Chains A and B, each alone.
Chain A
């Protein structure tokens, strides 16, 4: 990092953005919300461009955190930002750095003609619909209040998924003995179960009953582990439904060659988004 005390004065904000979360779900000290409720977004520096090209930093998630904290200094701890803000934040950093148009390479599935499509990143923020987290899921006299995952939760899940994939490769190893294979499968199954339960728990803000309001993650995890199958399924489905609003919609493309209409998935993967 630059130790020049004037380093903070080099750049000027290119744009200002509002957070889809409106600043909710940020723990105290992790966000400094300006009076205008709009966060200044600075263009990426050469140093930022180097940061998100550092493989270890990409793998452990610190590349995204460092670049976000550099480009949006109002976010003091990007590990704690809610997942619903991430697409909008990344899109706005790219807009501030390289402009609002992004080239998408595509191949028509009908005529197989390759084409270059220009996507307007400003439409991302417009298309995101944040669910109302003040509305609980009511199950009898119990009310379950939800919250979005933090970036830290998402990153931990990604790393665990990666370990899982590696485990699957080991299980499929033809040279492995049957006994070792069963042991590996059992370990993988336990890990997946733990991962699922943790992910559900991290999505729950509190559970309100006529007697008490429970916010302690360990009690919520205990409840998730021991609730009946029907309740578990309802909670899982509710979380999936709420997540849909912030999932990026696929891009609709019309082939200029044959007129075929098709959709192409669009992701904000750090490793490809800023290329």
Chain B
């Protein structure tokens, strides 16, 4: 395992990297939960696969573009 082969500063750097990535995943999940307006709970978002999260993000993007084009409220 990579962790077992690093020296102390290398482990610190690697742990920081992992923590940042975890933060990004949680932020993405929270963002999707907010976009779904109560249609999905945070815990449920954490149980979605990468491709499923991508699908929701694409739906949201498409709705945003429709909103911009039509001038209607974001749905």
A interface with B by C-beta (< 8 Å): 2, 4, 7, 10-11, 14, 42-47, 49-50, 53-55, 58-59, 97-98, 158-159, 161-162, 165, 269-272
Contact = CB atoms under 8 A, between A and B. Distances in A.
A162 B3 CA distance: 10
Contacts of B44: 2, 4, 10
Contact of B22 (A7, A43, A53, A165): A53
B21 interface: yes
Contacts of A159: 4
Contact of A10 (B19, B25, B47): B47
Interface string B35-57: 00000000111111111110000
Contacts of B51: 43
B45 A59 contact: no
Interface residues of B, number: 26
B47 A50 contact: no
A98 B63 CA distance: 26
Contacts of A2: 43-44, 46-47
Interface of B: 1-4, 11, 14-15, 18-19, 21-22, 25-26, 28-29, 43-53
Contacts of B48: 10-11, 45-46
Contacts of B53: 46
Contacts of B2: 269, 271-272
B1 A269 contact: yes
Given A59-B4, A271-B3, A50 B49 contact: no
Nearest to A42: B49
A50 B42 CA distance: 14
Contact of B3 (A47, A59, A97, A161): A59
A214 B48 CA distance: 48
B1 A45 contact: no
Closest 3 CB pairs of A and B: A43-B49, A271-B2, A162-B4
Given A2-B47, A50-B22, A97-B50, 15 more contacts: A10-B48, A43-B49, A44-B49, A46-B25, A47-B47, A53-B22, A54-B22, A55-B3, A55-B14, A58-B1, A59-B1, A59-B4, A271-B1, A271-B3, A271-B14
